[in-house]
Every structure is written in structure tokens, then in C-alpha cells.
Amino acid sequence: MGKCRNHPDRETSHLCSKHNVYMCEECLKCNDPDIYCKFRSACTIWFMGRRKARWEKEKRAEEVIKKYKVIFTPEDKEIEVPEGKTLLDAAREADVHINASCNGKGSCGKCKLIFESGNIKSEPTTLLSDREKEKNYILACQTKMLGETVVSIPEETIERKLKVAGMGEEATALLKGLVKNIHPMLKEIPLELEPPTLNDPVSDLDRLNRGLKKTGCDISNLSIGIKVIRELSAAMRNENWKVTASIIRRNGANEILSVTPGNGKVTSLGLAIDVGTTTIVVYLVDMLNGSIIAATSGHNRQAACGDDVINRIVCAEKDGVAKLSRMALATINNLISEALAAVNIDKNQIKNVVISGNTTMTHLLLKIEPKYIRREPYIPTVSEFPILKAGDIGIKANPIAAVFVMPDPASYVGGDIVSGLLFAEFYRKDPLTLFIDVGTNGEIVLGNQDWLMTASCSAGPAFEGGGIRWGMRAEEGAIDKISIDPETFEPTFSTVDDVTPRGICGSGMIDLISEMMLTGIIGQDGKFKIDSSHPRIKKNGEDLSYILAFAEQTPMEEDIVFTEIDINSLILSKGAIYAGFMVLLKQAELDFSMIDQILISGGFGQYLNIDKAITIGLLPDIDRNKFKYLGNSSIAGAYMALLSDDYRNEARKISNNMTYIDFSSNRQFMDEFTSALFLPHTDINAFPNVKIQ
Amino acid sequence: MGKCRNHPDRETSHLCSKHNVYMCEECLKCNDPDIYCKFRSACTIWFMGRRKARWEKEKRAEEVIKKYKVIFTPEDKEIEVPEGKTLLDAAREADVHINASCNGKGSCGKCKLIFESGNIKSEPTTLLSDREKEKNYILACQTKMLGETVVSIPEETIERKLKVAGMGEEATALLKGLVKNIHPMLKEIPLELEPPTLNDPVSDLDRLNRGLKKTGCDISNLSIGIKVIRELSAAMRNENWKVTASIIRRNGANEILSVTPGNGKVTSLGLAIDVGTTTIVVYLVDMLNGSIIAATSGHNRQAACGDDVINRIVCAEKDGVAKLSRMALATINNLISEALAAVNIDKNQIKNVVISGNTTMTHLLLKIEPKYIRREPYIPTVSEFPILKAGDIGIKANPIAAVFVMPDPASYVGGDIVSGLLFAEFYRKDPLTLFIDVGTNGEIVLGNQDWLMTASCSAGPAFEGGGIRWGMRAEEGAIDKISIDPETFEPTFSTVDDVTPRGICGSGMIDLISEMMLTGIIGQDGKFKIDSSHPRIKKNGEDLSYILAFAEQTPMEEDIVFTEIDINSLILSKGAIYAGFMVLLKQAELDFSMIDQILISGGFGQYLNIDKAITIGLLPDIDRNKFKYLGNSSIAGAYMALLSDDYRNEARKISNNMTYIDFSSNRQFMDEFTSALFLPHTDINAFPNVKIQ
């Protein structure tokens, strides 16, 4: 032991045998690092010094990729993210679902979080109110971490379980029995084969084919892959020539996709999947009798890349289509897992799948380049998809499960609309029908058994809450019905699930605009007619808004308001849809009076007050009895196609027979659209029953 | 510095600070390894002791898997193999090809090596002569290494370039023009498509299909895989809507396998592959005009697992079928590479492949379990193969190349025979024909356009040199023609390529037995009639043999002899084949006089002297003009099927129409076989033209 040469107060045992000096732990450094010293192999200074240097180097390396922990309460999800990432990135990584309509651009103001503790840096934003800022509200996409951070998810950011139209036993009862003759794509045939003998030495495959032929299976165009062949001899002998063959039936050619030992009772499940831009719905179906044994739904995780299909395509161009595919698959596969868990069944039982979605959704899900969908002349890669295998596209099911994807007639009219028609059935009946699906886009079909015309109006996501200050989907706490006292301008409203209000959904907005107009709060141009002296009117800069619920009434302690900008967004949306009706009718040389029925599809229609929708000029002013609400017709059509060959063929026919009218460069549409940017319309004669005060 | 406590003569700096003792490098060991010592972190003894312990542990671990280097001269290939492996294992690992007919059982004596230096341990064997032992000959399969070893490969073990019947320009000239209308399975169609517009916004796939339809392609049952779809939009736009589509034509349903940018001149190649048990032949064919632009052949590497199909199946059961598949693929792919290199063309140009081989060869190549082929009731997994993709089975070609595998009618009559019939054409003509293919097995077909009967006789590999002391294939140095002076018993012979003799091939053996019998060296029972007093007769224990070439005439400096055991093997083989003829004829209620022609197929027939084959009773004693030699009809048939849909369909028909007669438990066959175990036959009246001296 001796004293450190730099710190005489410290005793140390580290001795440099060459220079005969002691060094303390802090000073450990070889005096001759570059020269070979004969004591080196026994020198603690050299050993320890090297160790210390390496440790310090590792420490520096760690610092370069510094990571910070983020905790999201109240769920208490934790994640470590590298310095420089935003809280939105962290939320996506941690699988914390928060609204991000604009895909992190900082323009929608939906991704609100409350900063609880830590060290952050937020970009300035006008999308948070002073009151919100006081309460430490931040926008996740505009905030980076500088240290460990705790944030909480405010009431209005948490997405509640969506009310999905057509779920539950009511819909199950409605759908069951709709398909009389069940014909799955992948059929399982149990067989008991004759064992081979010297007098009957045909090959295993010929023996199998012979057995299949006896059951009435057409083996003339039956093919088989090399993988199945490789396992054939073992499979056939494993349970003494009893086997079950799974055969996929395709146009023209069938294929043996698996041969498994045993010929016990066959149970087979199917999946009907509606891949919406916003919501994904999964039905788990017993293929033997068509009963829906489980149903789940959830938000499409792609929503983190924006609300509408255009944003999704932009995101796919930037980050690659594989990312968007993964997001949709993650949602779908989670929903499948949930459904399977509910009934305690293995995924390998799932042998048939039908997917229904709009053109962008199906392309993204299948990892097909979507970029030409959004570029003139708007071309999808595929309209009619081949029958795929679940294993090839990543759907959680038996890898050989047959997947039918509803055909997409055009870039902006997709398989979800074909599904809707399949369910609505007017395509094979006489009455002239107008079919509307208002979701994140607005699709219209006009026709009957003789002809079908279709178009898509860029209605935008306003009716689903996109771009609207307090807009939200028809979830728990959404204001869905409103009336306003014409004297006091005091509103009366109801919310989904009767809880305190968190925002306004599409039907609520229609009610609200209708009521504001009828009570004279706003004019037919959508501008406020009363000023901010009224307690229900609020002024923020130039922007006036109507206070629907005061802060003390809401769980967020924030006023729920509806601004002039919101009203304008709604007028643009409803104008686009109404203009769509008009152009299709004119193309067909018809008018509204000739229409026998208007079918409204999609979650949006669920709480819709037809009268008020007419009042604002969203729907035409015709006999109220002609309107009919269909519910989620996309999932219903997918269910029908899942069970029946006939319906799958019908779907292909519908898709081929629709005439698509492109509005993007249609001058007539632009004229009609401009005329419809008024409440209810510039041509008031078209709305004789709407009485403006 | 101080003196080591155990070695006072050694100075050392390693000091234990706790116990204050020095230790030299050899003694480095902590005094308190299990107790924490406060000096430990600075103690060189603890540090170095641990390091030493670890090093010693690693050294022990290394010793457990000790490896030895083997060098094979004259090729100078080196390989390291773990202790306990044989030199045959090492040779396989090093890709040094040596004969191993019995697959390492130590029973064939073919895998001779000369020990040059090192340390080895050989099991005793009777298969090496004293002279060989003197020259340090060893059997590779019976020798293990105990240290680094150098061995050389003796002359007779090196495999020479095989003379393949039907190769070269003569065969090319023969085959070219045989197929009038060329119909490849995978067809490439160049297209120039109309670019999309707002008025013509059909999907990319629909546009492609429309273009294909215009060229006359049937698109009603045309399918496409998801991978091709994923690349479609880019491929179509890359060269401004000019593309080339590759379409595979299958029964009932066609499939688009690729779409590539550009519609330039299409060049397409095909491969005809004959996968023989012994030899593999590859023809590279221009699919546009049918000319053979390169041809290669080589030994099937599976030969390292035994000469005949039974040994190969046994090997597959032991080591897994994947190993045998890899061996055949390695041979095939090397031959393809050679062929491609010769004409400087990329493998992706190859879009069509036909494989012809016996049932075991096709099963092994495709990694299909062969074990039930060798077990009663002898069942193959597949007879008629689906059209496969080269990429799925590992053939070096464009991964999407279509692969047609010649159908296998039975476990022991395979696609090579179907190919042979396709080429021989008698299956669609009137003359009654006997078709023989004597390779490692012996297959017979009898019939004409009205009926076809087939059988396999277990002739064994004797005619290919298997089990014969100096037997070899018709390679360089093989004695192929022999006559013996009836007075002096001196032989006169010729060898393949006129070099010094290295062994005897099948035709040579037939000549030899015929001559020995006619000159009275042996009797009709195959036993020697003269004793070892004659200089050409050698006695080795009880075993007599005829010396065909003395040691000084051979490159190995060894006598080339033909033993009584060899003669017996040949008699068994020829007896099996002749019995096969008899049973088929009797089943058909025919006799030899009714036969219009006898077609001899396979490399074996090439040097065959028909008269002498009749003399020993291998072939029937009928008009010599009725015999015709076909050459390698398996590759010829593969070539025809490669170019033509019609021939592919004919092949399927031939396979289905053949009636297979199983000899394995056929009493009639056993009787005929016993009668044929005599030279030429027990019924000498059947051979009126054979005059025994």
C-alpha cells in the first residue's frame, strides 16, 4: 500500500512497478500506454486503467443514444424513446392510442395530453385555449422530451369503445338465415381411404384423388402444391388411411391446400372483416350454420397516420406501405384474438375470410402500392382480387385459409360499397334507389337491377368529427341529439350512453346547425346573426362560436363550442354530398321525385334525424318514408360473401356493372356544389318543407 | 518483486496483498477464491488466476471437439473434420468425389485411397489385395483419422468424364425438328398498353388483362399472386406501359407469374434434365426454335450414398430426404451453371424445365418421402406431378420457371421410361415392341398402340459395374469389347478412348462371359473349367478368376481379373431380365416370334454386341435386325415434353395407360428366373443359334 502520487491523502494498492509510483482509483492510467512495459501483464494500473477507459467509452456511447422514459397515466404505460422523439411517437411505440387526425402535422389539435412532471419542450400552438394551457395541456405531436416525463391522457383524448351499428344480437339475428346454401371457399372433406395392396398400388395422391372423386368432388382440375405432397405419405398413414382434405375452390381450378390425419367431425370458422378507414369490425362465423359466434370492433391503428385515405396514402409514400399494412393488420389480428379468446377457439380453425374495405384500405392492407390512387387519373392497382391465403397476407387464421377481398369498382368507390349493395339487394330489384354511405368519404350509388351509377364526393371527415373543434365519433359522451329553445337559445341535448358530454358527433352537428338556423342564431349562409353579448355566444378573436355546454358541465372543464369555421366545414361537406346526388340524377336524366327509396349506410346514419338532415340540405326534401337506415352494410355484405359462392360471384358482377362518374374534373359537379353551399340550398324551391323563420 | 512461494528460484511481481505472498505465473491462484477479499479489485493474482482458469477451460473445451486436417492429392483439397469421422465422410465434406457404391458399408471395396502421411486407423478388410496393401491402399469408409493426414486418390478411384450416349451434335441433329409446334408451359407475352385516362380509369390489373386478351390469351381463368400484384403498378409505369407478362399455362387455370417493364424481344431458354441414378444429363434448349445450345452431364452426387435406388432410400431414411435432394440438386445446378457459362447466359432466362427420372430419383429430388417405395406394397407418393416452380424446388433457373416432372407410372417404373416411350413412339404405332432399359435397374415395356404392359426386374447394378470386382461404367479406360483366343485363352480387347485399361464395363462383361463360355474357360453353369495352372487363371483362396489384363498393362499396376463371383452376379442380372421378358410375354399370351422389334435404351446399350448378349442369354435369340439401339431416350423424351404441350399430355396418357406387373411376389417370375440362371438358358432350344463348343 502507498499514497497516490496525485492525491497524497489517499492510500492505494495500485502500484506501477516500472516507475514505482502508486495511483488511486481515480488516477488509474498507465504511464507508458504505448510502450510495452515488462510489468504490464502483472500491473493492476494497466489492467484497471484499461477497464476504466472501456467503461467510460461505453458510457459515452450510451449517452449518444440517450433515451428517456415516458409514462402515460392513467393507464401507466411506460416506454423508453430516444431523445428528440415526440410524445406522439412515444404513444405510438407504447401502443397508447390517442387521436392524431392530422398525422402529427400539428394542425388538428386532437392529440392533447396533460403534462404532469418531467422535462419537455413544446412548440407554440394556437390550437390550445388559454384555459387548457393553464391546465398544462400540450399537443403530443408538438412536444419533445428532454428527460423522464409523466403525462396523463385527458378525458377527451381517450377513445371510448365505439358504438358500432349492427353489432350485437340484433344484427346477428338479422344476418343469420340470410344465406340459404353455405358454400365456403375452403372446404374440408373427411375421407376414409382403402389401404393399398399389391393389386392396388396406385400412388398416395391418386388414392386421395380417387377418394375425393367418390365424395362428388370434381378432380379434373384439382392441383396440389409441393409442400402438401411432401407431407402426404405421412399424413395418409398416420391414422390408417383416414384423412381430411382441405380444398380451395377457385374459378376454373381447385387446389388441395392441406391433408391432415384423421377424418373426425369437421368444424370450421370464418371471418367477415370490415376494414373501415376509422373503424374495423370483425365477425367470427360458424361456417356450418352461419351463426355469428363472436363480434369485435376497434379503431384502425392507421388513424395515427391521419383521418382520411389521402393522408394514409401520403403516409405510405413517406414511410412505406408496409408500415400502414402492419398497422391495419395489428388492429385486425388483435380483434381476431379477442374474438377467438371469447369463445376459446384456436386460430387454425379459421379457414375462410372475407375482407371488405374501400380501395385504399384494401390496397394498404395487402401491401399494394396506393400512390396512383391519389394521382390523376386515379388508378388502383387491382379491382378484382384473386383468392388469397391468410398466411400470405398476415391475417391471423389458419395459414391456408382462403381470403376473398371484396372487389373495388374504382379508386374512390370500394369493396365496402359493393358489400353494401350486396346486403341492400336493390341491385337485383326494380325500385329506383339512391344508396349513400357517409363515412370519412361520401359514396353514392344510384340505380336498380337494370343499371348502377356510382360516384364519390370529397365530403371530408367532418361528419366523423375530423377538422371540427369539438367533433368526435359516435362514442360514449358524444352529443348526438340537440334542440334549441327559440326564445332563450338554451340547448337541450342527449349524449351517447347518457354520460357528461365530451364532444359532438355527426348527427349532433346536423341537429345543431339545423336548430341554430331555425332559431335564427345563424343565417342561411352559416354566419352568426347574434353577437357575443349573448351568454351562449363566445368570441375568440374574430371567431364567433355557440357554447353548447359550459365548462362545468363537462369532464374536461372546458366549454364545448361550435365555431363559424366548424359550420363552414359542415356546409362544405353536406354541399358536396348533395351536389353528388344532383349530378348522378342529371346524368341519368332523373329527378328526386322519381326515386323510390334512399338507403343510408354506415355508422353515421345510426343517430341521424332525417328531418334535420333535410333542413340543412344534406338530404333531399322528399317523402320521409322513402328513407331507410341500413346499419353497417359493409360487414353485412362481407358476412354474406363469406358463406356463399353465389354472393361472391354477385359481388364481382356488381363491381363490374357499376358505371363510375368522376367528379374531380366535372364542371357540372362544381356548379352544383357551389349552389349547395347554403342552408339548405340556394334553390329554396327544392326544399318546400323546410320553413326558415 | 519477490520469490514465488512454491518456486523460490523464480522472481515474480504477482503479490497477494492479503496474505503477502508472491506467486509465479504457473502458480497464479487466489488463496480465498470464495471469500471476498478487500484487495481483490487490485490483485493481479485474482485477475490473472481467473484469466488462466478461463483459458484452461477453453482449451479443454477445444480438446473435446478436436479436429484433424485431411489433404486429398492430387487435387490438394483440404478439409478439417472432427475426430472419429472416416475419410469417406471427409471426402464428402470436401466435395472430393470418390466411388462408394455400398454407401460406406465396407462391402464394395471401391472407395480406395492411398495413404501418404499422417496418423490413421483402418479396419481390416479382405477387399484390398496384398499388393494394394503393400502400396498403402486403404478403404476411405473403413479408415478414421488420429491426426493430420494426407491421402492420394488412386487412378482407378478418380471418376473420368462419362461417355453419355446421345450427346453431341449427332443427337442434337436427331432431336431438332422432332417437335413441330412449340408450346412452352411458361409463355412470355410482350405488350404495349394504352395509358390510363380519366375516361378509362380501369385498374392496372384490368388494363393488363385487357392487353393480354387482345393478343388472344384466354383470360377467363387467369389468376395472379399477391407478390406480382404488389409490383404491378411500378412495373407497368416503369417503361411507359410497355411490359412483358409471363404466363404459366396449366390444365384449366393459367397464372400470371411475373410482369416486367419493357416489351423488347423475348428470349427464353428451357432445360431438359435426365436425373439418372448414376448419371445426370442437362440440355439447355432455345425455346424459340428448339435447338440445343449446350449439353452437360455428370455423376449424380447421390452416388456417395450407394449405387442403387434401394441404398438411396435407406440413406434418405437415415439422414433425411433433404440431404439426398441437396446432393442431386448440387449435381444438377452445377451442370446448369456449366451449360450457362458455355453460352454466357443468365439463369433467369430459363423459364421452362422438364425433369425425367425414375420414381425414386424424382421423389428424392423433390424432397418427397421415398420410404414406402421400398416397402410392400411399394407405393410412391405421387405419379402425376403438378407443374412446379423452379424456385420452389431449388433448380437453378428463373424462380418462376415452370417445371414439368415426367409422371411415374409405378414405384419401379418411372418417368425416365415414360420419356423413353415418348421418344420411341411405338406407343402410338402398330408393331408389337419390347422396350428395354438396363441401367442400375432393368425396366421392360411390352406393347403397341393398343396396350402397354410394364415391369421392373431387380437386375441389380452389375451391368453398370456395381458389385463386380473390376466393374466400372463406360468411362475412359473401361474395357468394352473382348475376344478370347480359343487355343491360348489370350484376350484381345479395346477400351473406351483407347487408353490403358482401368476396369470392365457392362458390354465388356457380356463379351467376356460369352467368350469364356464359347472358348470353354467356363461352363454353362458359370464355373471355371480350367484350373490355376494356366497363366491366365488366378487362384485366391477358393476363388478362381480370369486375368484379363496383367498388372504391368494397367495404370494401377494391378491385375484386372474377372472372378467366379462376378460371373455369378452377371448371371443373376441377365436371368432377371430374361425372366422379365418371359413373364410379360406369357401374361400377354405371346411369344418372342411375335415381336416386331426390340428397342434398347440407356447408356448400357451403346457398346453392346447383340450377338454376344444373346449368347449369354440376356437377349432372346431372334432376328438380329429386329434389335434397335435408342441411346438416352430419357433425355430425348424430356426434350420433347419441354417443347410441346401435346407431348406433355401424351406423357400423362402413357403413364396412365401402362399396366404394371409386379414381380416381387410373382411365382411365375421366380420359376422363369431360376430357369434363366444358366448360360444361355436351361432351355437351350430357345437359343437355336447359340452353338456351345
Q: Is B660 on the interface with A (CB under 8 A)?
A: yes
Candidates B596, B538, B594; CA nearest to B564 is B538
Query: pLDDT digit string (tens) for A629-658?
Result: 998 899 999 999 999 999 999 999 999 999
Of the pLDDT bands very low, low, confident and very high (cuts 50, 70, 90), residue A160 is very low
Interface check A656 vs B, CB under 8 A: no
Task: Answer yes or no: is pLDDT of B381 > 80.
Answer: yes
- The C-alpha of B195 sits at a distance from chain A's nearest C-alpha, in angstroms, of 10
Distance from CA of B108 to the nearest CA of A (A): 32
Query: What is the ipTM metric for this complex?
Result: 0.77
Q: What's residue B34's pLDDT?
A: 59
Specify whether the CB–CB gap between B418 and B409 falls below 8 A.
yes
pLDDT band for A557, please (50, 70, 90 cuts). Answer: confident
Range scoring the smallest mean pLDDT among B27-41, B70-84, B365-379: B27-41
Region A331-341 average pLDDT = 90
User: Confidence class of residue B162 from pLDDT cuts 50, 70 and 90?
Assistant: very low
Check CB contact of B39 with chain A, cutoff 8 Å: yes
Q: What's the pLDDT at B397?
A: 96
Q: What is the mean pLDDT of residues A460-486?
A: 87
Contacts of A385 in chain B (CB under 8 A): 229
Bridge partner residues of B245 (DSSP): B189, B259
Give mean pLDDT, residues A437-445: 86
Locate the chain A residue with the closest alpha carbon to B394. A226
Distance from CA of A457 to the nearest CA of B (A): 16
Nearest-angstrom CA–CA distance, B306 and B277:
10
* Digit-coded pLDDT (tens) for A28-57: 777 766 555 656 666 777 777 777 777 777
**Distance between CA atoms of residues A603 and A439, nearest Å:** 8
Assess whether pLDDT exceeds 90 at residue B616. yes
Q: Collect all residues of chain A within an 8 Å Cβ-Cβ radius of residue B210.
A: none
Least Cα distance to B512 among B464, B577, B558, B561 occurs for B561
Q: Which of A154-168, A374-388, B101-115 has the lowest mean pLDDT?
A: A154-168
Listed residue (A369, A465, A365, A375) closest to A412, CA to CA = A375
Q: Which residues does residue B73 pair with via DSSP β-bridges, in sequence order?
A: B152
Task: Calculate the alpha carbon distances from A63 to A59, A60, A89 in Å.
Answer: 6, 5, 20
Q: Find the mean pLDDT for residues A446-473.
A: 88
- What one-letter code names the amino acid at B340? L
pLDDT at A162: 40
Name residues whose C-beta falls within 8 Å of residue A298's C-beta, 6 or more positions apart in sequence.
Answer: A162, A279, A280, A331, A334, A335
| Mean pLDDT of all residues in B409-421 | 96
pLDDT at residue A167 is higher than 60: no
| Mean pLDDT, residues B311-330 taken together | 93
Kindly report, residue by residue over A183-225, the tens digit of the pLDDT. Answer: 999 999 999 999 999 889 999 999 999 999 999 988 888 899 9
Which of the residue ranges A440-454, B13-27, B142-156, B250-264 would you say has the lowest mean pLDDT?
B13-27
Q: What is the dihedral of CA B212, B216, B221, B224, to 10 degrees?
A: -20
Q: Which of B44, B203, B220 sits opposite A381 (nearest CB)?
A: B203
Give the residue from A382, A454, A652, A664 with the most B CB atoms within 10 Å of its CB, the best one to mutate.
A382
Helices (H), A140-297: 168-175, 204-214, 226-238
- Interchain CB contact of A523 with B (< 8 Å): no
Q: By CA distance, what is B367's nearest residue in A? A: A230
In the structure, what pLDDT confidence band is assigned to residue B42 with cuts at 50, 70 and 90? low
Per-residue pLDDT of A286-306, as tens digits, reads 999 898 888 888 888 898 888
Looking at residues B405-421, what average pLDDT do you find?
96
Residues B252, A203: C-beta atoms closer than 8 Å:
no
B367 to chain A, any CB pair closer than 8 A? The answer is yes
Mutate to test the interface with A, among B203, B259, B387 (most CBs of A within 10 A): B203
Q: How many residues does chain A have?
A: 693
Q: Is the pLDDT of residue B410 over 90?
A: yes
- In sequence order, the 6+-apart residues with CB closer than 8 A to the CB of B675 are B579, B681, B682, B683
Interface contact B369-A230, CB threshold 8 A: yes
What average pLDDT does this structure show over A120-134? 83
- pLDDT at residue A554 greater than cutoff 70: yes
Q: CB of A31 within 8 Å of any CB in chain B?
A: no
Residue among A40, A221, A381, A392 with most chain B CBs within 10 A, to mutate: A381
Is the CB of residue A416 less than 8 Å away from at least one CB of chain B?
Answer: no
pLDDT for residue A161 is more than 60: no
Question: Chain A 182-221, CB below 8 Å of chain B: which residues?
Answer: 196-198, 200-206, 220-221
| Closest-CA residue to B271 (of B262, B280, B279, B263) | B280
B129 has a chain A CB within 8 A of its CB? no
* Mean pLDDT comparison of A131-135, B100-104, B286-290, highest-scoring range: B286-290
| Predicted pLDDT of residue A625 | 95
Element (H or E) spanning B480, and its range? strand B478-484
**pLDDT tens-place string over residues B179-229:** 989 999 999 999 999 999 988 999 999 999 999 999 998 888 889 999 999
Judged by a CB distance cut-off of 8 A, whether residue B323 touches chain A is no
- On whether any CB of chain B is under 8 Å from the CB of A84, the answer is no
The pLDDT value given to residue B61 = 64
Residue of higher predicted confidence among A390 and B154: A390
Lookup result for grid cell 406431378: B385
pLDDT tens, position by position, B475-534: 888 999 999 999 999 999 999 888 899 999 999 999 999 999 999 999 999 999 998 899
For residue A196, the chain B residues in CB contact (below 8 A) are 377, 379
Q: Which residues of B touch A252 (CB under 8 A)?
A: 220-221, 252-253
Average pLDDT on B435-457 reads 92
Residue B386 to residue A664, Cβ atoms within 8 A: no
Identify the pLDDT of residue B161. 42
In angstroms, rounded to a whole number, what is the distance separating the alpha carbons of residues B647 and B419?
A: 10
Question: Do residues B181 and B646 touch, judged by C-beta distance below 8 A?
Answer: yes
Model confidence at B335: pLDDT above 80: yes
Is A261 a residue whose pLDDT tops 50? yes
Question: How close does chain A come to B320, measured CA to CA in Å?
Answer: 13
Share of residues in chain B with pLDDT > 90 (%):
57
**Alpha-carbon dihedral sign for residues B507, B513, B518, B519:** positive
Minimal CA separation from B644 to chain A, in Å: 20
Q: Decide if A233 and B411 are in contact by the 8 Å CB cutoff.
A: no
Q: With an 8 Å Cβ cutoff, are B223 and A39 in contact?
A: no
In angstroms, the separation between the Cα of residue A233 and the nearest Cα of chain B is 6
Grid coordinates representing B598? 426390340
Beta-ladder partners of B50: none
Confidence at residue B48, expressed as pLDDT on a 0 to 100 scale: 72
User: pLDDT of B629-646, one tens digit each?
Assistant: 998 899 999 999 999 999
- Determine whether the interchain pair B408/A203 forms a contact, defined as Cβ–Cβ distance below 8 Å: yes
Q: Lowest-pLDDT range, A99-108, A259-268, A672-681, B526-535?
A: A99-108
Q: Does A126 touch chain B (CB under 8 A)?
A: no
Q: CA B315, CA B324: separation in Å to the nearest integer?
A: 8
Asked if B224 lies within 8 A of A386 by C-beta distance, the reply is yes
User: What gap in Å lies between CA A215 and CA A189, rounded to an integer?
Assistant: 8
Q: Among partner residues A369, A660, A664, which is closest to B234 by beta-carbon distance?
A: A369
Of A163, A664, A179, A598, which Cα lies nearest the Cα of A413? A664
**B649 lies within 8 A of chain A by CB:** no
Q: Is A376 on the interface with B (CB under 8 A)?
A: yes
B160 band by pLDDT with thresholds 50, 70 and 90: very low
**Is the per-residue pLDDT at A159 higher than 70?**
no
